Amino acid sequence: MFPVRALSRHFRGHMVSALRKAAHAGDLHRVNRPGDVDAQLNTLMATDWVVYSKDCLEHTHTVVRYLARYTRQIAISNARILAVDEHQVTLRYKDYRDHDRHKSLILNGEEFVRRFLLHVLPKGLMRVRHYGFLANRCRRQRLMQVRRALAVVEQAPDADMAASDAELAYTCPHCKQPTLRMIGTLTPQRHTYDQPSNHKDQHYRA
């Protein structure tokens, strides 16, 4: 939707402005030297920022694969580790400055562990936060509604809930599973080329 260069400058301006306001309010406690904040922020404003932008994801498997890299993978995948012995680790990486060429890097065990631990988040931080029906604020209530809609019984329901579900659930004529809901009854219209019909068509949806 937006040019990447314009988006980079817009984001840089908002970020530096927020940092400057935080410095004037005394919220940047680790910065103690006078004039250090202005010098650093001026340097940031003189630097071209890069905003990562790509086309929207259209397919479900692409979304799952994209999120899986952030939720189930840390720092490096097993496929990039070429060799391991008692003293060093050999891994493969892509050199973006050299036309994206694949190269090998040899690290001793201590340095490899140090770099790996740099990607481990501090306690209390999450790599990906859940939203929708899995959000912490409404997860318990929404999961009960989802299980009830899917006819998944986690615990023995009370009599009122069971009676309510029994009134709303209909059995599929093919798989015999109570996963359908009646949304309405339509009476077929008569046409000159059709025979009169006395039955009603019931429409369902999963």
Question: How far is C-alpha 185 from the geometric centre of its chain's CA atoms?
Answer: 39
Closest by Cα among 113, 93, 111, 88 to 103:
93
pLDDT in tens, 36-69: 888 888 888 888 888 777 766 667 777 777 777 7
CA 155/CA 166 separation, integer angstroms: 16
By CB neighbour count within 10 A (0-12 exposed, 13-18 middle, 19+ buried), where does 28 fall?
middle
Judging by DSSP bridges, how do beta strands 101-108 and 88-95 pair with one another? Answer: antiparallel
pLDDT in tens, 6-18: 888 888 999 989 9
pLDDT in tens, 185-206: 777 666 554 444 444 444 445 4
Residues 65, 77: contact at Cβ < 8 Å? no
Q: What is the pTM (predicted TM-score) of this model?
A: 0.35
Confidence of residue 180 (pLDDT cuts 50, 70, 90): low
3-state secondary structure of 90: strand
CA 32/CA 95 separation, integer angstroms: 38
Confidence of residue 142 (pLDDT cuts 50, 70, 90): confident
Residues 147, 154: contact at Cβ < 8 Å? yes
The domains of the chain are located at: 1-53, 170-206
